[in-house]
Chain A
Amino acid sequence: MCFKNLPIEFDANGKASLREGVSDPYSFKAAKPKSYVRKQDGPGAQLAAPPKLRDWSIDPVTRVAGALAVHTTLDLENRKAVDAYSRAMLFRGYEVILQGRDPRDAIDISSRACGVCGGVHATVSSLTIEQAFGICPPPLGLACRNLGEIGEMFYDHPIHLGLLAGPDYSTSLVSVTNPELVRKAEKTPARGYEVHGFRTIKDIMDAMNPLTGKIYLESIEYTRVGRVMCMLMYGKYPHPSTLAPGGLQTTISTQSFNEFYTQLGKIFDYCKVMIATWDDMMDFFLESNPAYEQVGARDINLAQLGIWDDTDAYDAKYANCNMWGNRRWAKPGMIIDGKLVTTNLTDINMGFEEFVDHAFYDDWTRSGSPRFATDPIGNPISPYHPWNKETIPRPTATNFKEKYTWDTAPRWDRKTVETGTYGRMWTTALAAQTPENPFLEATGDGLRMVIPRHNLPETEVFWKVPRTINALERNRARAYAMGFTAVIGMNCLLKAFEYWRRGETKVSTPFKVPKDERVSVGFWEAGRGWLAHHMHMDKGKIMNYQITTPSTLNAAPRDPFGGLGPYEEAVIDTPILESVSDDEVKGIDILRAIRSFDPCMPCTTHMDTGKGVIVREVNSCGCTLE
């Protein structure tokens, strides 16, 4: 029984239904938004010195993809953040664009939702469509799709570690906020020297310096390797040209796999170096000041959909999604209060809702009965579920007690959940169900990976599930995610070779666009975690298409129950650990907290000021907005 808040129960056969006797099962009474700022109450309050509160709006948050703003209140007396509001600043509108179109268009159009990870949108869109069409790619098509997505992740991970989050730990930045740490780093030997070649922690910090540091510059180089890997399978990147429902249009040859293997080989050593580097850096911060554990900390509530299909299991059918979902290399799952409560995609889908009480949208549930009371196999779903959702933008003035963002508030079982690369490692580790293979073992408390030899020798690493989730652990896990991705890539490549040797060389399946009513969903993951496309089609056209992305979850605002979004929770109570005076505080720990999620905000965005004026046109990443 995984639900605590929604009135859903399961019979002895595992069949879900709404609890009997609950007249309006999804209704709720909106709670008054909480104020988290400390109040001076009680006797003597009037005489007490006013708290040293400082409002601080970070707009935009730099070194993130897209337009994110965070409004915080810092308590400088107690040196911590006491309030936070996360704001997605731009409207996307892909759901509106896709209405009425041929479903096949969704692959190309939704890909444009993101300038970083367009491939994952195209991929999940093809999953969504093939489920609706009742087709499935041939095994080699699935293997190649897995490989394309391995490549795409090697574009994402280096960007986060080298260009976006890395500079927060560089000499150039830390010397301004905490010069004592730099002095200490100079005298602290780096444990992973034999692997990464940096003698001291200060050397690592130097390597993270923007524009000049070795790690910064190498990360740019490695994005190219990832891109080449993805293009070998998907034709081009970031917007694939060969993905189709039921497989790929790519002309695959032995050379495709050989070239892929060559590129993957380059990655092996990079993974070993990044893991050793980030282990050293994160340990140094935690050992220097254990309070860093509180930076970006929040409850361990994670939502993952899984990625990289078992080519022998996946059949694209919703009715079988628990079977094939659980066979994925990276497992789907919901972790609540640190415990894995389900790995079934139907449970995850059933408990998922989106709320717009604090977002610039109208509540669609007020305009009539929901389209669907159940999913295609009879499990109950909420009126707030994406299959029932209607995107009705309603821009208004910003008011933190009312509406303040273009992001919705997705919740699972009405709880705030975050998602991330680390999340899928977490679910995979706890599920402990890796198939027999030479490279990866999920142990129940971590992941054991054997990264093959390249210039560096074969290396075994172990990512241990952290006690807490915070900025440092998110970043550390992102480094381990490179190894996780590489060893899954090896497994997928060996599988592809196997099909190739057997002469099973088909990579696509013929299809016809059905004209009757269909409902489907693509469950997948972006580099940053959760990615779902929900579709309703009829008469060969899209009736409704809803996209939820990692940052839809992570950048979410408050919900109607008074809960905060993940960024907001992570910022509140983050300590200000800078060793400079109040006037010189840069807020680096707040920024570390936010950037550790790897925010990925809006997409091709044309913001209308109300006068039809295009303020700025960008092609960018679109992982948050409607």
Chain B
Amino acid sequence: MRDLDFGTQFIRKVEVLDWPGDVLVEDLSYAAHRVLHLFQEVRPGKVVLVGAMPRDVDPAGTIRRYALDLTPPPDEEVQARFGDAAGGTIDLDHTLAVLRYMKALPADTVVIEVEPADRSFGLGFTDPVEAAMEPVLAMVREEVGMSTPVVASDE
């Protein structure tokens, strides 16, 4: 999926690293209500969401980090997204709408997103998105309060 697969590939890269015991690294690319169930079970104190998100306002490879506005969308929109998710559609917007509506996200929810360059299918990332991988990892480490570099668990 090229650049749009940033979040999934990021997880594959970092899940093998040593993380603090209270940090759960999880690929959330499944349907919204399933993610809801996970959050209801885990009840996280902080969430850091990572992914590629085309917004067409910044150059490719731009990293945006911001606190998520937890105001849910209108009811009709949430209902439509719930229905779509129940039908198996995996969509980050569905997930965010459902999680916000059901108050499953903590107040401390941060989004780190990368502007993709190539939205087509294919292998690997474009150079600007590839270059974003390490800075995003550093931001995530900072968000979870890690002061020392993370290393692979088998090193």
Contacts and interface: CB of A to CB of B under 8 A. Distances in A.
Tell me if chain B binds chain A. Answer: yes
Interface of A: 62-66, 114-116, 159, 163-164, 167, 210-211, 220, 223-224, 227, 238, 600-601, 606, 614, 618-621
A63 B83 contact: yes
A525 B137 CA distance: 45
Nearest to B1: A617
Nearest to A619: B90
Contact of A600 (B31, B80, B82, B87): B87
B33 A220 contact: yes
A163 B88 contact: no
Contacts of B83: 62-64, 163-164
Nearest to B101: A211
Contacts of A64: 83, 87
A601 B120 CA distance: 24
Given A115-B31, A223-B33, A62 B88 contact: no
B82 A211 contact: yes
Contact of B91 (A114, A227, A618): A618
Contact of B88 (A63, A115, A167, A220): A115
A65 B119 CA distance: 25
A65 B83 CA distance: 8
B89 A211 contact: no
B13 interface: no
B73 to A, nearest CB: 11
A159 B79 contact: no
Nearest to A118: B88
B120 A65 contact: no
Contacts of B121: 606, 614
A590 to B, nearest CB: 17
Nearest to A160: B86
Contacts of A65: 86-88
27 contacts: A64-B87, A65-B86, A65-B87, A66-B87, A115-B89, A116-B86, A116-B87, A116-B88, A159-B86, A163-B83, A163-B86, A210-B82, A211-B78, A211-B82, A211-B101, A223-B33, A223-B86, A224-B37, A601-B87, A606-B121, A618-B89, A618-B90, A618-B91, A619-B88, A619-B90, A620-B88, A621-B87
Nearest to B34: A227
Contacts of B91: 618
B37 A164 contact: no
A63 B79 CA distance: 9
Given A220-B33, A224-B37, A621 B88 contact: yes
A164 B120 contact: no
B118 to A, nearest CB: 12
Given A65-B87, A115-B87, A115-B89, 5 more contacts: A115-B90, A210-B79, A210-B82, A227-B34, A618-B91
A618 B79 CA distance: 18
Contacts of A210: 75, 79, 82
B105 interface: no
A220 B79 CA distance: 12
Given A211-B101, A227-B34, A614-B120, A238 B88 contact: yes
Nearest to A227: B34
Q: Give the residue among B33, B37, B86, B119 with the most A Cβ atoms within 10 A.
A: B86
Choose among B34, B37, B80, B83 the residue with the greatest number of A CB atoms under 10 Å from its CB: B83
A620 B101 CA distance: 22
Interface string B102-139: 00000000000000000111000000000000000000
A113 to B, nearest CB: 10
Contacts of A238: 88
- B82, B88, B91, B119 interface centre (most CB from chain A within 10 Å): B88
B47 interface: no
A620 B86 contact: no
A210 B80 CA distance: 10
B36 interface: yes
Contacts of B90: 115, 618-620
Interface in B54-87: 75, 78-80, 82-83, 86-87
Contacts of B120: 614
Given A115-B31, A220-B33, A614-B120, A211 B79 contact: yes
Contacts of B86: 65, 116, 159, 163-164, 223
B76 to A, nearest CB: 9
A188 B121 CA distance: 57
A223 B87 CA distance: 12
